[in-house]
Structure 1
């Protein structure tokens, strides 16, 4: 048991896990994000941690696979003696009854932790995610000035290739994934006094609510939610919660308000790191626009053959991509390696596992052959596999550049990426000049 830990979280993908890492770190909660739950011996090598995260892959798992993975992970995290255990999901609630089921995660978590309810907070106003009367709204692009849409009308999320959003009311969405009753602390209740909020929650519990969904529209709505959640937490009986990084923001605001932790307001200047390597497995139109901007501003591109990656059929299938990329880097050009939207043959699909693993293997070879100091990986579904193929054990935040996608340093024993700066971004994250921001190490 590590008594200095106040929170442990399990992320359903890698980019979402770095999002939580950022907001905990901003709140002064020293956090390390691991690829797998660390052993006590390994955890002891990381000094003065207040929180840990585990970057999972459950967003791309079936409910049966999630059951096995999460029961083991939640049991391990409970043993850490933290006040909170958070199941971190995407702020656009990516899930379905057959893939990445958040309802299944809640069912397993409730069985492991045996609390009388599960808090559910998906809103993250600083990321452009808002929940009002149970309905989720999302800005087009995190860290941008894009238009805000109701989730089921969002140009990207409503057309997601795996979990398209066809319902914005999270209670109805979740009802397809779990039989547990969902109560709502709506926006009219969130703005009341702390005592009134507590009384309303008590009434929801008396009405047999097993999950309580919290609305939030503005940043100031998160503090009372964090205070309420922490009132139910104890190291010997941790509170299990589900939600976006809004959970970490809410708890961070509460801890900062009561001076448990001091927020970090000044970060070291990352500075420019040229040339830079970008690997993209994202099919988001936001990322596509960012790639177009980068090409117009001096980045070279190396295009992967999707069918070749799918088939594993080519001899030394990745060697050519590595050599072409290394050649560009040796000419001091930053490079983006991606599929350019090309697809496998009709009737076949290039899986996130195959693409992510290929991207990670390419990154590992390129970093080993060059002086690359900063690597960016785009794509929530592929990042988890890429990070594993890169040999990463854990990452810790260096500096925030774009909300939801911090610049980190990798711990990667026996890998060329050990000590390299890494950035993992979801498909929806960032303005058009995102890759330029990461290259320069500053917002411009």
Structure 2
């Protein structure tokens, strides 16, 4: 689909949608959703310049910026989000989406979704801020305001989810998203529940108008159970967008799947099935994991069973200045030797959440006067430098990075400034093409995997690829 042009003094391009991802790996969820709809989309790792949007990436239907809002305080969110969202508003997109994780992890102090809503509401106005979190494609559901998410084969209420209920920074102790949000903002939130989404489009539209008239909400949370109701929610959001000068929306990649369904029904997009592209295999794959989630733990185990070489990163040495250089050279030589022998490698900082080295690393950090939260920066920088050397030395064409902080630092070390989706491998873990300022890394294929993403054999699937 060709982007729609706006005739104005700035010769800008009218786009369907712009988005800001509040964490690094989660931003690729939206990239995948828009790719599957056939929309030309680029995910920038830093806010793009106007020249980039006018020249190198002129014919985009949508674009996004991968951010770190989920790890920021409300004060830092104000500094980061307001100028960026202002720029997106000037781009003239019909919808500007603040993309959050489909498990809604946030708190009043860190990654406040309520704070993001307040900023967006102030900048964009509008009758209300749509909030849609469920994504059936990712097995995330909202019913009567309560949120549910998959873990393995089972679906758990969010406050009983084995991972999210024990999140180290933002544990989810409340499944009712309205109650959770009430601790972050004074904005009034109303629910458009699963029953309200029943009926014809005309009937559903009448129900939301009645809700707006009687409750005058500033935020409307949409229940999500299945694809048909998701499309109805998308139609309500799209109708609201058409009535204004750019609609600010908050939610997971379910927002894009909802809008995609509506756009196809309205003929804005061709009525095709989700885009499926074959992925060729590679002879060797480097996996760099800074994630300690139970999902990643199982993936590491399965990869080793499939023939990957597992190499533990000696992080306790790498964070000690007197030991770091020798440890890095030793590790680099070990990994390079395996790759040059044609073997695939899993390079990991921890085997899982119960890994005993986690406590040891915390003790080492404390001895240096550092906090536990400093580990992401230290680990990321060390792994970034290592990955850069390995890719340059061995000529790898594809890598997989697990963990949000790790992904951010490694892509920065490789000079990567933008990503385009090449193929959907598993929900939430697409294969991307990198744009880099450095020729040796430009065109590199990579997968950025969040902690909860992928089946147990995901690492081998990235190596082997897929067929049509």
The TM-score with structure 1 as length reference comes to 0.95
Structure 1 residue 393 corresponds to structure 2 residue 417: yes
Q: 1:119 to 1:365 in 2, by over 3 A?
A: same
Q: 1:161 to 1:186 in 2, by over 3 A?
A: same
Q: 1:192 to 1:382 in 2, by over 3 A?
A: farther
Query: How far apart are residue 425 of structure 1 and its match?
Result: 1.1
Structure 1: distance between partners of 2:112 and 2:410: 22
The TM-score with structure 2 as length reference comes to 0.90
Structure 1: distance between partners of 2:321 and 2:100: 31
Equivalent positions of 1:51-130 (< 5 A) are: 51-130=62-141
SS in 2 for 1:14: coil
Equivalent positions of 1:339-418 (< 5 A) are: 339-340=349-350, 341=355, 342-343=357-358, 344-346=361-363, 347=366, 348-349=371-372, 350-414=374-438, 416-418=440-442
Structure 1: distance between partners of 2:109 and 2:236: 32
Larger radius of gyration: 2
Q: 1:284 to 1:315 in 2, by over 3 A?
A: closer
SS in 1 for 2:13: coil
Question: What CA RMSD, in Å, does the superposition of the two structures yield over aligned residues?
Answer: 1.9
Structure 1 residue 162 corresponds to structure 2 residue 169: yes
SS in 1 for 2:216: coil
SS in 1 for 2:34: helix
Q: 1:310 to 1:100 in 2, by over 3 A?
A: farther
Higher relative contact order (CA 8 A, sep 6+): 1
Structure 1 residue 227 corresponds to structure 2 residue 227: no
Structure 2: distance between partners of 1:236 and 1:176: 29
Gaps in structure 2 of 5+ consecutive residues = 1-9
Kept in 2: contact 1:391–1:415 (CA 8 A): no
Gaps in structure 1 of 5+ consecutive residues = none
Partner of 1:185: 192
SS in 2 for 1:327: helix
Question: Given the alignment, which residue of 208, 213, 238 partners 2:246?
Answer: 238
Kept in 2: contact 1:81–1:235 (CA 8 A): no
Equivalent positions of 1:261-410 (< 5 A) are: 261-262=269-270, 263=272, 265-316=274-325, 318-340=328-350, 341=355, 342-343=357-358, 344-346=361-363, 347=366, 348-349=371-372, 350-410=374-434
Query: How far apart are residue 274 of structure 1 and its match?
Result: 2.1
Query: How far apart are residue 389 of structure 1 and its match?
Result: 2.7
Number of aligned positions between the proteins: 440
Structure 1: distance between partners of 2:165 and 2:277: 38
Structure 2: distance between partners of 1:291 and 1:164: 24
Structure 1 residue 426 corresponds to structure 2 residue 436: no
Structure 2: distance between partners of 1:19 and 1:330: 33
Kept in 2: contact 1:82–1:235 (CA 8 A): no
Q: 1:409 to 1:14 in 2, by over 3 A?
A: same
